[in-house]
């Protein structure tokens, strides 16, 4: 074992003082000393545009022995060769990628590489020696040439300059010449431009424009459309289903049956399931493009009323927008029928109102909205504070009147609240059926009128309403509907909330910008099977005929002949055989139809309707006078009538379209003058007809008291004239869509109908191509029909004369009678004779 040595403790203070750390040896900071600059070497070093930025081309043609230069991080060996060598280029793909086009400079260099130029061969000796210097410091190398030159002595620089000039004299001369030429060219161009500009004078005439690109709509295919338009829901025409099968409550379906709606029509079988809320299904907006008379109205009214009838409180829940007041009234009837159906099983009786331009606005407001005083001291205090603030800002607000005036200014409320009460505005209706302009008026002017609770927005005859932006109605409405108000729009037990949009037309627009304007949500399109994109189908049971009008000045006579012909008979029931001539005149009074129509109370009134459009009092006064006038005419016109079907009984119904209100009035009167036996059956409808008269005329027509309606395009859309069998285009419609709507007034709801068009020579081509889809260009016609348009001759006179000339279509007597009738019309129009205007 060894004892461990423990050193004795050192007395305090005996510790050697701490040595300071030895001073660190002085190492001088490395100072960068640039390598001695070699004399500038006038090597023919050139940058290469497609290589690295520092790459240089070194002329090695005159090197006598291998040398080395430093270039950046590289040491580069230079070997004597016949050309030049590139230094400083890092291997990269870049040169390989370089486009085939080589800059002129490079091309020249390459040439030089292949065969050293004359200039190089003649280079002076001292330059050759200088070129042999191999080591170039990086700094020197990186500096631009110009800097290097600065560092040389002035003499050297001078020498160098001279030598370069001498060597490249030819090149310099060439360059100088080229520059001169380029300058001259530029000046020439400028002069040319000035000359041109001086010659061309721009007047007010438009500058020539490129031919606009024509979008061929006829070739629009489903592939070019958004998916919802490209993949519509197709339903076979003729499909029918009981309403109960489609989700309508049996009790409601029973009521519908009593109103004549036994089964759902094809379009309804497709639309109802989309619009009736189905648990678990996401709701879609629906666009319906189905033929006229296919039952589109019921397809949205039924689910809409069914939905609203589930609520309890009356709020504005649905808005139906239509283009005319007649349509508003028509849809109102459909809504009332459905409201009655859904009220049977304890459902809410849905309240319906209309808003159209011709009504007194205040009365309409009172019918739509009401006010209620509710006890609310807090609300009252707030309201008073608001009023007082307002009053404080008024200059002279002493009087009580001012007080209330200012308060009117604030909330436009003329009703004074009772103390500690607040006025609440309450909707009196669940459904508002309206024209777009009037809707905007209510939104902006009717106190408390709000769309906050609206769950349905229906736009019927959408193509028309979207094309004509009445007071920006769509933007105004959509803006109001876009306000997030889910709770206000939802029913407690309903899966449906938000606003449901339903857009309908027989001629649905293909203009996507218009459709996009509706801001549809997950839309679905419903069309009839067989319809292509943009096609408009006509009713299956519609027959179409065209009558050639050889002489347009006798057009009314063609119409008279058509009305009197056997062609115009009942199409939905067996035609009544024409009675004998004698029998016709004798029995006219005893005939039930004519007796009812000739009874003064029923028939003279509707007839006077057309007259009263301008002046009702003079019309009634003038009845007897005009009658006596026309009776004398009728005697003259007797002869031609003898050749035609005698009018024992006009057992069908006709709607005649003219191109304007004025023409409708004139034609109506002319028909009465030319065929007085028809007079009691004729009514007139124009947009100038007062609403009350319009309604009455339509009622008389529906009752069969009137059989012939002469109308402007006012009633071409949407109007459902019960049992109308014939439509006559006396004047051609202005568009395909207009034709579809006009002829679609007949052959509705699965009934047969016949459309006639009087065709003048100058319009025939347009008709046969665009409407009938025949001849050259007919393939682009977008009207889908089951039968071709047939050509019909009504007048029976024309036979070739002996000399081969065509005989006149109308006898001399008829022409004379016609001229007399025209004179009479003229007198009435100018007021010389008190007639019907
Ligand atoms: N299920 C049904 N059963 C019997 N009649 C029906 C049924 N549905 C609709 N109708 C009737 O068919 C007719 C045409 O209906 P509606 O007016 O809705 O057609 P539409 O498609 O809107 O035509 P348009 O495009 O011309 O406006 C109306 O008289 C209507 O009462």
DSSP 197-217: HHH----SSPPP-PPPPP--G
Does the beta carbon of 506 lie inside 6 Å of ligand 1? yes
**Residues 724, 704: Cα–Cα separation, whole Å:** 10
Residues 456-505 pLDDT 10s: 999 999 999 998 777 789 999 999 988 766 667 776 556 566 889 999 99
| Strand, helix or coil for residue 767 | helix
Closest residue to atom 3 of ligand 1, CA basis: 261
Residue 45 — very low, low, confident or very high, per pLDDT cuts 50/70/90?
Answer: very low
| Strand, helix or coil for residue 48 | coil
Residues 654-681 pLDDT 10s: 999 999 999 999 999 999 999 998 899 9
Q: Which of 290-304, 412-426, 525-539 has the highest mean pLDDT?
A: 290-304
Does the beta carbon of 773 lie inside 6 Å of ligand 1? no
Q: What average pLDDT does this structure show over 438-464? A: 94
Is the CA virtual torsion 231, 237, 238, 242 positive or negative?
Answer: positive
| Strand, helix or coil for residue 660 | coil
Using most ligand atoms within 8 A of CB, pick from 253, 295, 330 the residue to mutate for ligand 1. Answer: 295
Whether residue 40 has pLDDT greater than 50: no
Closest residue to atom 10 of ligand 1, CA basis: 295
**Inter-residue contact 665 to 689 (CB < 8 Å):** no
Does the beta carbon of 293 lie inside 6 Å of ligand 1? yes
Does the beta carbon of 297 lie inside 6 Å of ligand 1? yes
pLDDT, position 246: 94
Using alpha carbons, select from 676, 627, 701 the residue that is nearest to residue 619: 627
* This prediction's pTM: 0.65
Whether residue 335 has pLDDT greater than 90: yes
**What is the Å distance from ligand 1's center to 279 Cα?**
28
Whether residue 508 has pLDDT greater than 70: yes
Whether residue 140 has pLDDT greater than 50: no
**Residues 751, 801: Cα–Cα separation, whole Å:** 44
For residue 830, with 0-12 CB atoms within 10 Å meaning exposed, 13-18 middle and 19 or more buried, which class applies? Answer: exposed
Question: What percentage of the chain has pLDDT greater than the value 70?
Answer: 60
Q: What average pLDDT does this structure show over 281-290? A: 87
Using alpha carbons, select from 135, 134, 132 the residue that is nearest to residue 123: 132
ipTM of the complex model: 0.99
DSSP letter (8 states) at residue 715: G
For the chain, what is the mean pLDDT? 73
Q: What share of the chain is helix, strand, coil (3-state, %, to 5)?
A: 45, 15, 45
pLDDT, position 354: 97
**What is the Å distance from ligand 1's center to 268 Cα?**
10
Higher pLDDT, 464 or 8: 464
For residue 523, with 0-12 CB atoms within 10 Å meaning exposed, 13-18 middle and 19 or more buried, which class applies? Answer: middle
Closest residue to atom 20 of ligand 1, CA basis: 293
Give the number of other Cβ atoms within 10 Å of residue 549's Cβ: 23
Q: Which of 81-90, 304-313, 478-487 has the highest mean pLDDT?
A: 304-313
Q: What average pLDDT does this structure show over 346-350? A: 88
Closest residue to atom 4 of ligand 1, CA basis: 261
Does the beta carbon of 265 lie inside 6 Å of ligand 1? yes
- Residue 656 phi, psi (nearest 5): -110, 125
**What is the Å distance from ligand 1's center to 206 Cα?**
52
DSSP letter (8 states) at residue 769: I
Does the beta carbon of 264 lie inside 6 Å of ligand 1? yes
Does the beta carbon of 539 lie inside 6 Å of ligand 1? no
Does the beta carbon of 619 lie inside 6 Å of ligand 1? no
Closest residue to atom 5 of ligand 1, CA basis: 261
- Ligand 1, closest atom to CA 334? 31
Does the beta carbon of 261 lie inside 6 Å of ligand 1? yes
pLDDT, position 491: 67
**What is the Å distance from ligand 1's center to 770 Cα?**
27
Does the beta carbon of 256 lie inside 6 Å of ligand 1? no
Whether residue 106 has pLDDT greater than 90: no
With a CB cutoff of 8 Å and minimum separation 6, the contacts of 794 are: 547, 558, 561, 562, 565, 567
Does the beta carbon of 744 lie inside 6 Å of ligand 1? yes
pLDDT, position 553: 92
Distances (CA, A) of 271 to 234, 319, 487: 11, 18, 26
Closest residue to atom 16 of ligand 1, CA basis: 295
Does the beta carbon of 716 lie inside 6 Å of ligand 1? no
pLDDT, position 312: 87
For residue 116, with 0-12 CB atoms within 10 Å meaning exposed, 13-18 middle and 19 or more buried, which class applies? Answer: middle
By mean pLDDT, which of 240-249, 467-476, 744-753 is the weakest?
467-476
pLDDT, position 26: 47
- Ligand 1, closest atom to CA 330? 17
Does the beta carbon of 292 lie inside 6 Å of ligand 1? yes
Q: What average pLDDT does this structure show over 106-129? A: 44
Higher pLDDT, 161 or 628: 161
**What is the Å distance from ligand 1's center to 242 Cα?**
16
Using alpha carbons, select from 498, 534, 536, 600 the residue that is nearest to residue 284: 498
DSSP letter (8 states) at residue 798: -
Using alpha carbons, select from 781, 713, 708 the residue that is nearest to residue 741: 713
Q: What average pLDDT does this structure show over 686-701? A: 90
Q: What average pLDDT does this structure show over 15-40? A: 48
Whether residue 15 has pLDDT greater than 60: no
Using alpha carbons, select from 677, 672, 681, 680 the residue that is nearest to residue 647: 677
Residue 55 — very low, low, confident or very high, per pLDDT cuts 50/70/90?
Answer: very low
Whether residue 638 has pLDDT greater than 70: no
- Ligand 1, closest atom to CA 741? 26
pLDDT, position 181: 78
CA angle 582, 588, 590 (to 5 degrees): 115
Residues 358-367 pLDDT 10s: 778 999 999 9
By mean pLDDT, which of 58-67, 79-88, 471-480 is the weakest?
79-88
Closest residue to atom 14 of ligand 1, CA basis: 293
**Inter-residue contact 302 to 309 (CB < 8 Å):** no
Whether residue 2 has pLDDT greater than 60: no
Whether residue 760 has pLDDT greater than 80: yes
pLDDT, position 389: 79
**What is the Å distance from ligand 1's center to 40 Cα?**
102
**Inter-residue contact 429 to 351 (CB < 8 Å):** yes
Does the beta carbon of 89 lie inside 6 Å of ligand 1? no
Closest residue to atom 1 of ligand 1, CA basis: 264
Whether residue 599 has pLDDT greater than 90: no
Higher pLDDT, 608 or 783: 783
Whether residue 837 has pLDDT greater than 70: no
Using most ligand atoms within 8 A of CB, pick from 258, 291, 301, 749 the residue to mutate for ligand 1. Answer: 749
Does the beta carbon of 755 lie inside 6 Å of ligand 1? no
- Ligand 1, closest atom to CA 720? 17
Distances (CA, A) of 483 to 286, 450, 479: 21, 11, 7
Whether residue 207 has pLDDT greater than 80: no
Does the beta carbon of 333 lie inside 6 Å of ligand 1? no
**What is the Å distance from ligand 1's center to 295 Cα?**
3
pLDDT, position 421: 84
Using most ligand atoms within 8 A of CB, pick from 246, 259, 298, 698 the residue to mutate for ligand 1. Answer: 298
**What is the Å distance from ligand 1's center to 296 Cα?**
6
pLDDT, position 172: 78
Does the beta carbon of 753 lie inside 6 Å of ligand 1? no
**What is the Å distance from ligand 1's center to 332 Cα?**
13
DSSP secondary structure of 225-274: S-HHHHS-EEE-TT--EEGGGGT--HHHHHHHHHTT--EE-HHHHHHHHH
């Amino acid at each position: 074992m060894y004892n461990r040595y423990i050193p004795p403790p050192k007395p305090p203070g005996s510790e050697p003082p701490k040595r300071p750390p030895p001073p660190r040896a002085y190492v001088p900071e490395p100072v960068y000393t640039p390598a001695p600059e070699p004399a500038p070497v006038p090597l023919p070093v050139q940058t290469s545009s497609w290589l690295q930025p520092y790459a240089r081309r070194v002329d090695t043609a005159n090197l006598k022995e291998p040398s080395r230069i430093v270039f950046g991080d590289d040491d580069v060996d230079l070997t004597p060769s016949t050309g030049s060598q590139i230094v400083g280029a890092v291997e990269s793909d870049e040169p390989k990628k370089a486009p085939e086009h080589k800059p002129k400079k490079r091309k020249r260099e390459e040439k030089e590489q292949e065969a050293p130029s004359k200039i190089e061969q003649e280079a002076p000796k001292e330059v050759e020696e200088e070129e042999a210097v191999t080591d170039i410091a990086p700094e020197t190398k990186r500096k631009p040439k110009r800097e290097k030159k600065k560092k040389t002595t002035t003499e050297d620089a001078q020498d160098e300059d001279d030598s370069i000039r001498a060597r490249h004299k030819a090149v310099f001369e060439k360059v100088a010449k080229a520059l001169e030429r380029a300058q001259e060219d530029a000046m020439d161009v400028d002069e040319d431009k000035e000359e041109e500009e001086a010659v061309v004078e721009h007047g007010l005439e438009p500058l020539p424009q490129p031919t606009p690109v024509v979008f061929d709509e006829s070739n629009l295919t489903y592939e070019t459309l958004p998916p919802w338009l490209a993949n519509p829901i197709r339903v076979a025409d003729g499909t029918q289903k009981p309403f109960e099968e489609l989700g309508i409550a049996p009790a409601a379906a029973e009521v519908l049956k009593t109103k004549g709606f036994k089964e759902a029509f094809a379009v309804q079988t497709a639309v109802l399931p989309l619009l009736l809320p189905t648990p678990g299904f996401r709701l879609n907006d629906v666009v319906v493009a189905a033929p006229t008379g296919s039952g589109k109205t019921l397809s949205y009214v039924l689910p809409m009323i069914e939905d609203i009838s589930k609520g309890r409180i009356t709020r504005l829940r649905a808005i139906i927008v239509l283009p005319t007041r007649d349509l508003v009234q028509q849809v109102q009837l459909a809504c009332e029928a459905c409201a009655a159906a859904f009220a049977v099983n304890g459902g809410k009786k849905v309240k319906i109102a209309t808003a159209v331009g011709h009504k007194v606005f205040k009365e309409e407001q009172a019918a739509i909205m009401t006010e209620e005083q509710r006890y609310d001291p807090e609300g009252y205090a707030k309201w008073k504070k608001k009023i007082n603030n307002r009053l404080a800002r008024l200059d002279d607000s002493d009087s009580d009147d001012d007080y209330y005036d200012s308060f009117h200014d604030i909330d436009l409320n003329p009703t004074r609240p009772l103390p500690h009460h607040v006025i609440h505005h309450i909707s009196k209706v669940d459904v508002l059926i309206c024209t777009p302009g009037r809707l905007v008026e209510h939104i902006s002017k009717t106190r408390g009128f709000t769309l906050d609770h609206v769950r349905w927005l229906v736009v019927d005859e959408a193509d028309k309403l979207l094309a004509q932006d009445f007071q920006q109605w769509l933007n105004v409405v959509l803006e109001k509907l876009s306000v997030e108000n889910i709770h206000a729009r939802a029913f407690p037990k309903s899966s449906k909330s938000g606003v449901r949009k339903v857009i309908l037309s027989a001629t649905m627009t293909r203009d996507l910008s218009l459709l996009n304007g509706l801001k549809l949500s997950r839309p679905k399109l419903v069309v009839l099977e067989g319809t292509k994109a943009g096609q408009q189908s006509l009713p299956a049971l519609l027959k179409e005929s065209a009558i050639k009008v050889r002489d347009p000045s006798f057009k009314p006579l063609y119409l008279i002949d058509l009305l009197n012909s056997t062609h115009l008979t009942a199409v939905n029931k067996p035609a009544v055989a024409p009675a004998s001539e004698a029998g016709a005149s004798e029995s006219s009074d005893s005939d039930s139809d004519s007796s009812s129509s000739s009874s003064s109370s029923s028939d003279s009134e509707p007839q006077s309707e057309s007259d009263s459009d301008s002046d009702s009092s003079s019309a009634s006064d003038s009845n007897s006078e005009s009658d006596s006038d026309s009776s004398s005419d009728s005697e003259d016109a007797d002869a031609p009538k003898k050749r035609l079907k005698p009018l024992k009984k006009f057992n069908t119904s006709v709607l005649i379209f003219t191109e304007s209100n004025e023409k409708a009035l004139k034609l109506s009167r002319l028909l009465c003058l030319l065929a007085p036996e028809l007079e009691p059956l004729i009514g007139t409808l124009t947009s100038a007809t007062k609403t009350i008269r319009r309604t009455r005329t339509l009622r008389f027509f529906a009752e069969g008291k009137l059989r012939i309606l002469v109308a402007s395009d006012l009633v071409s859309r949407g109007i459902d004239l019960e049992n109308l069998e014939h439509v006559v285009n006396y004047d051609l419609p202005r568009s395909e869509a207009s034709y579809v709507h006009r002829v679609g007034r007949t052959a509705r709801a699965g009934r047969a109908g016949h459309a006639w068009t009087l065709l003048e020579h100058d319009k025939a081509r347009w008709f046969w191509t665009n409407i009938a889809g025949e001849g050259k260009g007919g393939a682009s016609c977008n009207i889908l029909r089951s039968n071709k348009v047939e050509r019909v001759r009504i007048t029976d006179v024309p036979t070739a004369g002996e000399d081969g000339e065509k005989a006149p279509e109308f006898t001399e007597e008829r022409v004379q009678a016609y001229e007399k009738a025209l004179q009479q019309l003229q007198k009435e129009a100018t007021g010389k004779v008190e007639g019907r205007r």
